[in-house]
A and B are shown apart, each in its own frame.
Chain A
Amino acid sequence: MSRLLLVGPADSRRIAWLQRALLEQGSAPARVVGYESLLRDASMLQDAVVPGTVVKLESPGESPAVHAALLLRGWESSGCTGAAPEAMARGELAHQHLWFAGFKSVLESLPAGLRYLNRPVDLVCMADKLACQQRLAAAGVAVPAMLGPILGYEDLRERLRKEGRSRVFVKARYGSSGAGVLAYACNARGDEVAYGSAELVEQGGRHRIFNSLRQRRYRRREEIARLVDLLAAQGAYLEQWIPKPEWPGRTGAHFDVRVVALDGQPRQRVARIGEGALTNLHLGNERGRLDAWLDRAAMRTLESATTLAAAAFPDSRSIGFDLIVRGCRTWVLEANGFGDLLPDLRHRGRTTYEDQAALVADRAVPAERVHG
């Protein structure tokens, strides 16, 4: 029996990639447990493992049914205040705070004492982008200046006035991969502009946000205010605006970098190239080979920033970090406990999944890695 147990949607691409890596190295396939089972009774995990099993929690994000169940769990665990969350349309950005509360509640109910690839409390921290950035900053990692959570548009305006800033990122606190990120700027004459992938849609007098595949621009105050209010209602915070550098390989393109750390060491890395300079929009964006474009000094900076950031989560073995590299300056934008979805990207011959498969094949899981 494989020494790996995966928690996630059975039909997930993530699970398929890892199973293939296990198969290719001659290991038995990992057992898969759905989040549905954990939602019913998390203690079942205890019975599902044998001593020495490593439990890897995959992203629950690929299953709409699990998403809905997590929302409901979040609503219940927050004391059932307000109306129960309604069903969401595909691509809709809503109730992210409830999703987070549900995710947190499930992960906190997991049995202690198992060997987790990534520690559940760390995954909870990384799902709260603001808490994660605070943790990274406390560990001495360079992150964009944090300007705190906001209550809504008026609060945003007030905060900028106080800070003397004219541009800022509004980020969804519990969002993922660029969903709900707005780049906001204003000038002294009262003009405003916001860029982002969020699409504001009005249906029957009700406003909703959808995650769109292209970058949009908003200039009308009422639209911007509505967007910011809708984002803030599900958790949003302000962050210093740091422009992404131009991708040297193609005019007009910009990039940031994803580096996957394994056991604290930077491994697979890739430039994520997009037309949009302002948002974390990566859907449909290209990947670029970093070593062709970053000089040795920049690569070293990137590696040391990743090592430092990974050390802020010493009990989590596989973390994807998103970074901006400008010259010899680097900022960590976020940490992602499910940041290993980079199929076919190799570092010293191995993909992220082959790295993880090797951990269980080589009996390389040190005993001190037992955490709850």
Chain B
Amino acid sequence: MTISEYTKVYRGKRVVDFKMGDSPTAGDIAYRLAQEYDSSESQSELLEDFFSKVGPESIETLVVGPWSEASSDSPQGFIDGLIARRAELVGLKALFVGDMTYEDCEISWIIQSSYNELLAAFPGLESLRVRGATDLKLQPFVHANLQELAIECGGLPSQLVEAIAASTLPALRHLELWLGDDGYGFDGDVDTYRRLLAAIGPERLRHLGLRNAMISDDLAQWLAAEPWLGSLHTLDLSLGTIGDIGARALLASPNLGGIERIDLSHHYISAEVQQQLRALPCAVILDDPEQEDDGDRYVAVAE
């Protein structure tokens, strides 16, 4: 599996493409700045065109879609352009950079950027979502209002996890990391994430996603033993490799508390254990059952 669809809804708003030369769309929507595969305009020119038609002060939610070419260029032009308009972008609350499909660019090929300057320039930002971890740079940062942080990738370097662990994010409620495959940059283990959660204070999280992981069983065994697990609303271990070992640990956990939803989609769990999971008092999502291939399991999104 790969990412074959664009995001339809982001932060509750319908996402609508804005391409060079387009006209504004009416309604409460989120724009996705998108370049065609053969676009000739620069990122800065697309931003220029966009903000000449859509008032920056009206923008609350913004998606940066495919840029041309994401496998060779970073979205730095977009990031710089947003920072340069920080004084006008007074309402910007949510930013997603890299909403593209495998057809635009394989996720592990997407060249990313450094996000510290952007985070510093937008203290009111509540959500940052980034797709792609190649050349993604993040130093420990302080941000008073960031509620949601998500990194989607095919392989997450531990350096990024450690930077988040060392950050001060008092408002954080939603943390979503895609761990990925060690052939594509994942170099962590359960301890990496145990340290992260200990550092950020997990009791305040409403949503924890450790998705697309090649170590889902290990993660589930660790999480099942954490007393704070039941304070989450949602535990999302989807897109990964969870099987009966991890699922049984969750079943046996005394810590599920008031958890309302566990997403295990893209799993390797036997029918019998799936049955038991469905009997849990919370919603358990078990979509996309997978079969081992010669004893091997694969994350949903790697290359």
Contact = CB atoms under 8 A, between A and B. Distances in A.
A193 B102 CA distance: 10
Contacts, number: 37
B8 A251 contact: yes
Nearest to A251: B5
A187 B108 CA distance: 11
A246 B104 CA distance: 13
Given A187-B109, A242-B37, A277 B103 contact: yes
Contact of A278 (B71, B103, B108): B103
Contact of A243 (B5, B8, B37, B72): B37
Given A191-B109, A277-B103, A166 B72 contact: yes
Contacts of B162: none
Contacts of A193: 106, 303
A138 interface: no
B283 to A, nearest CB: 22
A275 B5 CA distance: 10
A275 B37 CA distance: 19
A316 to B, nearest CB: 32
B69 interface: yes
Main DSSP-derived SS at the A contact region = loop
Contacts of B71: 166, 185, 187-188
B106 A185 contact: yes
Contact of B72 (A187, A246, A251, A278): A187
Contact of A166 (B2, B6, B69): B69
Contacts of B104: 243
Contacts of A246: 5-6
A252 interface: yes
A219 interface: yes
Contact of A241 (B5, B37, B109): B37
B4 interface: yes
A73 to B, nearest CB: 40
Interface in A254-283: 275, 277-278
A88 to B, nearest CB: 29
A188 B101 CA distance: 19
B4 A252 contact: yes
Main secondary structure of the interface of B (DSSP, over half): loop
Contacts of A275: 4
Interface string B53-90: 00000000000000001011000000000000000000
Interface string A139-163: 0000000000000000000000000
Contact of B103 (A187, A189, A191, A243): A243
A246 B6 CA distance: 10
B98 to A, nearest CB: 15
A219 B103 contact: no
A133 B225 CA distance: 64
Nearest to A278: B103
A86 B104 CA distance: 40
Given A251-B5, A252-B4, A277 B101 contact: yes
A193 B105 CA distance: 10
Contacts of A241: 37
A126 B108 CA distance: 39
Contacts of A219: 303
Nearest to B302: A219
Contacts of B106: 185, 187, 191, 193
Contacts of B103: 243, 277-278
Contacts of B4: 252, 275, 277
Interface in A161-213: 166, 185, 187-189, 191, 193
Contacts of B72: 166, 187-188
Interface of A: 166, 185, 187-189, 191, 193, 217, 219, 241-243, 246, 251-252, 275, 277-278
29 contacts: A166-B69, A185-B71, A185-B106, A187-B71, A187-B106, A187-B109, A188-B71, A191-B106, A191-B108, A191-B109, A191-B303, A193-B106, A217-B2, A217-B303, A219-B303, A241-B37, A242-B37, A243-B37, A243-B103, A243-B104, A246-B5, A251-B5, A251-B8, A252-B4, A252-B5, A275-B4, A277-B4, A277-B103, A278-B103
Given A185-B71, A191-B303, 6 more contacts: A187-B72, A189-B109, A242-B37, A246-B6, A251-B8, A277-B103
